[in-house]
Each structure stands twice: as C-alpha cells, then as structure tokens.
Chain A
C-alpha cells in the first residue's frame, strides 16, 4: 500500500491516510478482501505515530471501507462500500469540472461535449463486450 505523507499539506496526517486509502480503493488499486498493513508496520514505514495510523484505520472502519477481523488484521471491505462509490463519483466530478472549464475556454458547447462522450464511449463498449 503506497501512502505519501506530507507535512507541508495542511490536512492532519490521519486524514491524509484516510483520503489516500479511499482513493486507492476507489481507483481499484486496493481490491476488496485485500489485507492492509498492521498499524505498527505502517507507522514504521511512514515514520509516523502509531496512534495516528490507529485513528485513520478507525475512521476507515466506521466508514465501511475496511473491516477488522478479530486478531487477524484489517482488510478492505468485501461489499464495495457505498462510500467507495461516492468517492469514485467525487474523483470523476473533479475531472468533469476540468473538462468543462477547458471546453468553455475553447468555446465548445455542452451538447457537443455530450456527443463527443457518446462517440468515444461506443468503441469502449464493444471492446469490453468481447
């Protein structure tokens, strides 16, 4: 599990871990059922306080992103949590905003963008159908 902590960023470190794990789950880099490192191992890997990792895992557990199996570690939840879906939508929304801003700069209308999306989507659809 690749997590990067930056003290330059304002967000508290536990929040940075929570956000990045959610992102990794939403983007499929962490699969359902996959085990994530024990608290102490991640604390040593990132050289951060183990209590901070514990707090991040607790938040992730409350949000349904991970599940603790008693005495056997922490795993990414099997049932794709509703939050993971919300997170995916959030990631996409950001990209769509960027797309819309760029399109506006280029003077391209919304209808045209929608057409373009459909056009690009069609071949992907047949490819995944094979």
Chain B
C-alpha cells in the first residue's frame, strides 16, 4: 500500500485561492488545498468554520467567487455530470425522499449511476438491516444515515465525500461509517474526504488533515507530520512568574507560579533557546493530542481575527 503523494498533479481535488462571502461575512478566505488520490482527507473545524461551504464548492453547488475548484481536473460548476457521477456524497442533513420505500430509493438512485453495483447494494442493505419495504421517513435517524451511506457507496465512487457524517449518531452507526471509509481506501486506492468535529474519529482514519477556522485554512498536511511538529512542553522556573514573555512558536500558554505548559509548533531549537534565556527548564515534553492542537490553533487564530479590522 502506497502512502498518498502530496503533489498537486495527482490531486483528486485541487482548490486554489478560494474565497466566498455571504454578505459581509467571509465564509472562505483564500483557501488552497489539494486532496491526493488514494487517501483519507479529514477536514476539521468548529461549527460554521466553513467546512460545508467548502464541500458545496467541491460538489458544484456553489460557484467560486474568486479562485478555482477542480475535481478530477474538471470544474464541478460547468461539468456537474462529469464530476458528480464519480462522487459519492453523504450530508449531515440527509435529504432523502421520505415518501419512498427503501427499495424504491435504491432503484431511483441506481438510475443516475451507470456504475451502480446491485450485488454490493444488496450486500450493504443486508449488512445495515434496512427493510426494503420500509418508508424512508419512518426509519430511525441511524437507519436513515445508513441508507444515505448505502446510496453513496453502491456505485463504488472514486471519491467519497462525507459532510459531518457522524453528527448526532450513536456509536454503532458511527462505526459503520468509519468502516465504510476504511474499506473505500483499502479498495483500489479510492479517495475519501470527510469533515467532522469529532477529532478522535478524524485522527483514527485520516492520513491528511486540513483545519479550517473562521473561513481560513490554519493547518494543512499529513496528519503524522502535523502531530510530530507540535510539542507540549512543561516549563519549570526557579521563581514564580506572573506571565511568560511572548514567543512566536507558542500557540498557547497556560500555568501559574513556577510551572507553565506551552503548546508550540515547529522551531523547537528557538524555543529551547528562549527557555534557557529565561532561566527555565523543560521538565516534560510530549506530542499533544489533536484536540489540544486544534484548541491551541483555534484560540490563537480567533485572537488574530478579532484584532483584524478587515474582518470585523
């Protein structure tokens, strides 16, 4: 199994300089990212950070205000058929036709996709325990999610796009969704992009990660590299401090008295030099969890955005 490459030439999704405003609000601000083939790309961010807006651009439901969006090298707005026939999509708000029966839903969806695999669809239907005669609107939320997942998977799309797929679902359904993601990449190097605010899920299944905060990309890269470039240091001073001097590598600083915890990104040598200068010692050094990294970036960027008059 090959690790996905990060070159833009092989990108399934290529987004450059994408900006989108809703009224005076900048929902996306100069976002550029490349989703390589054959991996799982996790998109994280708080609610209303811009994740869904980004996904809508990938699906061609929104037109780029400035910048470009290419999926399989095509423009999803001008060539929706060329793009959407190769994309399986599951949204947080599953807008399935409620009046249809499950078997009708499968039959209806199948008509749109030449690559629909009836055997696979039947296998998934049985695995998910979906009654073919049940009306979609009478299904539980979890079963509706499974029905949505089934129709997103059954034509074996080259790209599976999941927008907050786990939102509001119980752990059993969430596991079904994660397994579907894993099988999709394990088979024939297909690609998955999924957004979530459940960071432990993202950490489990992603190999690439993008973090959006208030419409801006604050982190983007290989998940293991992102993790390894962050450090949580516990500093010990000989005498109590009221605050630490500012340092550019630090994303967040917590503590009081003699002991302070600093979450920093990259440039460890520079940080060590500063620490020595202050007469402090590093008593603990660890790789932080993705949660901590996210909180640290969100906290810092929030401060920056608030101080920027252009965005207020």
Contacts and interface: CB of A to CB of B under 8 A. Distances in A.
Given A10-B232, A54-B1, A5 B185 contact: no
B3 A7 contact: no
Interface stretch (A44-52, A66-74, A102-110, A114-122): A44-52
Interface string A1-21: 000010111111110000000
A55 interface: yes
Q: Is the interface of B mostly helix, strand, loop or mixed?
A: helix
B179 A48 contact: no
B49 interface: no
A80 B291 CA distance: 38
A15 to B, nearest CB: 8
A54 B3 CA distance: 9
B205 A7 contact: no
B178 interface: yes
Q: How large is the interface on B (under 10, 10 to 19, 20 to 34, 35 or more residues)?
A: 20 to 34
Given A11-B287, A40-B186, A43-B186, A49 B205 contact: yes
Nearest to B187: A40
Contact of B289 (A8, A44, A49, A51): A8
Contact of A7 (B199, B228, B286): B199
A10 B261 CA distance: 15
Interface in B155-183: 175, 178-179, 182-183
B287 A8 contact: no
B179 A14 contact: no
Q: How large is the interface on A (under 10, 10 to 19, 20 to 34, 35 or more residues)?
A: 20 to 34
Contacts of B228: 12
B1 A10 contact: no
Given A50-B185, A51-B39, A13 B203 contact: yes
Contacts of A51: 1, 3-4, 39-40, 185, 207
A7 B1 contact: no
A26 interface: no
B6 to A, nearest CB: 13
Given A8-B200, A12-B224, A49 B206 contact: yes
Contact of B287 (A5, A10, A44): A10
B227 interface: yes
B93 interface: no
A49 B182 contact: yes
Interface string B215-228: 00000000110011
B251 to A, nearest CB: 15
Given A50-B1, A54-B3, A7 B224 contact: no
Contacts of B132: none
A122 to B, nearest CB: 40
A9 B289 contact: yes
Contacts of B205: 47-49
16 contacts: A5-B204, A7-B199, A8-B200, A9-B289, A10-B227, A10-B292, A12-B224, A13-B203, A14-B224, A39-B1, A40-B186, A44-B182, A47-B179, A48-B182, A49-B206, A54-B1
Given A12-B224, A47-B204, 9 more contacts: A7-B204, A8-B200, A43-B182, A44-B179, A49-B182, A50-B182, A51-B39, A51-B185, A54-B3
